[in-house]
Amino acid sequence: MIKKILAELKANPLGQLAVLVIALVAVAILFGPSITPHDPEHFSLAQRNKPPAFLAGGSWTYVLGTDTHGRDVFSRIIIGARVSLGTAVAGVAISVLIGATLGLVAGFLGGLWDTVIMRLVDVLLSIPLILMALLVVAIMGPSTLNIILVMGGTGWIWHARIVRGNALRIREEQYVLAARASGGRAASIIWRHVLPNLLAPLMVTASMQVGYFIILESGLSFFGVTGSTLSWGWDIAFGRRYLASAWWIATFPGVAIFLAVLAFNLLGDVLRDVADPTNSAGRS
Amino acid sequence: MLLYIARRLAHAIIVVWGAATLVFAILNLAPGDPAVNLVGENATEEKFEMVRQALGLNLPLHERYLNYLGDLLRGDLGVSWFVGQPVFDLLMDRLPSTIELTIVAALLCLPFAIVLGVVSALFRRTFVDFAANFVALFGISTPNFWLGVMLILLFAVNLHWLPSMGRGPGPGDVLAGLAAGDVAALQAWASHIILPAFTLGTFLMALVTRLTRTDILENLNKPYVKVARAKGMSPTGVITRHVLPNSMISVVTFIGLEVGALLGGAVVTESIFAWPGLGRLMIDSIMRRDFPVIQGGVLLVSFIFVFVNLLVDLLYLWLDPRIRLR
């Protein structure tokens, strides 16, 4: 699997770009405070609204400029990666866990289990995720844990549908029938024959969902319901008020979100091409 | 066939009931007493009790739930705790402008997306395909709230071409103006709606571009295309007469499923552009914990989603004889 992914990456420059961006984000998360040029929360009246380095009046001390309180935009982006990405990845992990479990239950046990789980999927599908998330976070209280819980509590439907579909298909495959006929227990059949086959499609949806959840978390921060004041979304909301005088405050955190989400979408494409070579035409 | 329709209707009712129950559970199992939020922390005990009594908050949970369902069945969505107006009136007041925004967004983006998808499938692995793929990736990866802010920065703050917020005259006024030979209303309407509609539509545009491309490519490999070509049909004819109609079935289904995402996007877009629609009403109500409006709003959104998908399924019946005859 890893070999195949590496081979695919070798032939796919966009995939390489994705890996590069994800690596940069990983560095930002791991070494955050020790690599920021400035303290992201340091107010400085003397350094207010400095434009980015490439504009007249900008300096390389503040590469991407400073905000209305004199805080360094670049340093805030580096530290903001922790909130946005950390939350998204945790949310996806829970989603995959719940989704894979319920999808397997629905696909293999069928009957009432299948009906109840799929109706639950339909219910969650009918309520827009951002509305649900705003509702839960605003009512239950602003905390990262609540955001992760609402991501996991709703995002599982992505994976459940895919796992269920695959489980229904795999259940009828010759090798599973053979394993069952030779007396294999359900749990061991799932573990040895079904899960390995689900790994590839799950990696694809998980990768795409990381991107989706980064946008969701930023959106919640943008609306100011997360309680966090150091995240990409919050900075955009803050900078929005100063568009006329300091456009860079709202612009660069958005570029960071865009690049991170793009990277996970591109990675998802690479993984899909590996998982399903027939679909690799034109890298869509 | 009647049985099929009946089954689909029952399914729709179950989903809406599920959504109503879910929201009720979230609101009522959340920590904190909503009455405190209403009367303030420093209110007297009597006033506090009075509010609880008036809103039925002193009843046990299951009784509240049954009352809520009972009211729903009678078509009663309750009264807003803050505005004092019936929730139904509040929602209906806002619904038209959200529908207007959503439809304009779809009309603005879908034709473009479908053309882009078809072209990139036909000219697969050429520069056109690559560019279309890039546009699609751009649309999927851009957060709509940021896109909205950037559009305001460019077209309102810097270029002064378009207003940054608010809604222009309604469609009725535009039509009346046009009937009188006056395009001012139309211009005002368009200048207000174009930025929010574009912000809302980009994501859908990206998804539909990708879907159309994949679907057309899949259809091109099917035997019926070979048959049509073999009997001497021109390549263009095969595409327009056979492949496109087939692909459009899956595109329509997909758009039905994305109605939820569109309405969710409307929540965000309306709040950025101060568009007086359902989405803003929902955000405001969530922020001030106006439970009846939140419940009614989520119910309405879920209902719209289910209703649109029911329509899509029935459309299927009509479009696809294989389903109709089963």
Residue recorded with tokens 């591109």? A266
pLDDT at A103: 92
Cβ proximity of A92 and A209 under 8 Å: yes
pLDDT tens-digit series, residues A32-68: 777 777 777 777 777 777 788 777 776 777 777 787 7
Of A122, A254, A266, the CB nearest to B15: A122
The most confident of the ranges A197-206, A268-277, B96-105, B309-318 is: B96-105
Number of domains in chain B: 1
User: Residue A282 CB: number of other CB atoms within 10 A?
Assistant: 18
Tokens coding B1: 């066939």
Cβ distance A128 to B142 less than 8 Å, yes or no, reads no
pLDDT tens for each residue of chain B, 326 residues long: 788 888 889 999 999 999 999 999 998 888 777 777 777 777 777 777 777 777 777 788 888 888 888 888 888 888 888 888 999 999 999 999 999 999 999 999 999 999 999 889 888 888 888 888 888 988 999 999 999 988 988 888 888 888 878 787 878 777 888 887 777 777 888 888 889 999 999 999 999 998 898 888 888 888 888 888 888 888 888 888 888 888 888 888 888 888 888 888 999 999 999 889 999 999 999 988 888 999 999 999 999 999 998 888 888 777 776 666 55
With contacts defined as CB-CB under 8 Å, which chain B residues touch A140? 26, 30-31
SS3 letters for chain A? Answer: CHHHHHHHHHCCHHHHHHHHHHHHHHHHHHHHHHHCCCCCCCCCHHHCCCCCCCCCCCCHHHCCCECCCCCEHHHHHHHHHHHHHHHHHHHHHHHHHHHHHHHHHHHHHCHHHHHHHHHHHHHHHCCCHHHHHHHHHHHHCCCHHHHHHHHHHHHHHHHHHHHHHHHHHHHCCHHHHHHHHCCCCHHHHHHHHHHHHHHHHHHHHHHHHHHHHHHHHHHHHHCCCCCCCCCHHHHHHHHHCCCCCCCHHHHHHHHHHHHHHHHHHHHHHHHHHHHCHHHCHHHC
Mutation target for A interface from B145, B200, B217, B270: give the one with most A CBs within 10 A: B145
Cβ distance A127 to B15 less than 8 Å, yes or no, reads no
pLDDT at A281 over 60: no
Cβ distance B145 to A222 less than 8 Å, yes or no, reads yes
Q: Which domain holds residue A180?
A: 2-283
pLDDT at A280: 46
Cβ distance A254 to B146 less than 8 Å, yes or no, reads yes
pLDDT band at A277 (very low <50, low <70, confident <90, very high): low
Mutation target for B interface from A14, A112, A127: give the one with most B CBs within 10 A: A127
Cβ proximity of A273 and A280 under 8 Å: yes
The pTM is what?
A: 0.88
Of B140, B260, B287, the CB nearest to A265: B140
Alpha helical stretches, state H, B78-170: 87-122, 127-141, 144-151
pLDDT at A282 over 50: no
> Is B326 contained in some domain?
no
From the number of C-beta atoms within 10 Å of its C-beta (0-12, 13-18, 19+), residue B105 rates as buried
Number of domains in chain A: 1
With contacts defined as CB-CB under 8 Å, which chain B residues touch A239? 149
Q: Which domain holds residue B203?
A: 93-290
> Is B264 contained in some domain?
yes
d(CA B167, CA B84): 25
With contacts defined as CB-CB under 8 Å, which chain B residues touch A134? 267, 282-283, 286
Of B124, B264, B286, the CB nearest to A281: B124
ipTM value, please give it: 0.86
The nearest CA of chain A is from the CA of B104 a distance in Å of 19
Which amino acid, one-letter code, is at B222?
Answer: K
List the CATH number of the domain containing B177.
Answer: 1.10.3720.10
List the CATH number of the domain containing A109.
Answer: 1.10.3720.10
Cβ distance A141 to B31 less than 8 Å, yes or no, reads yes
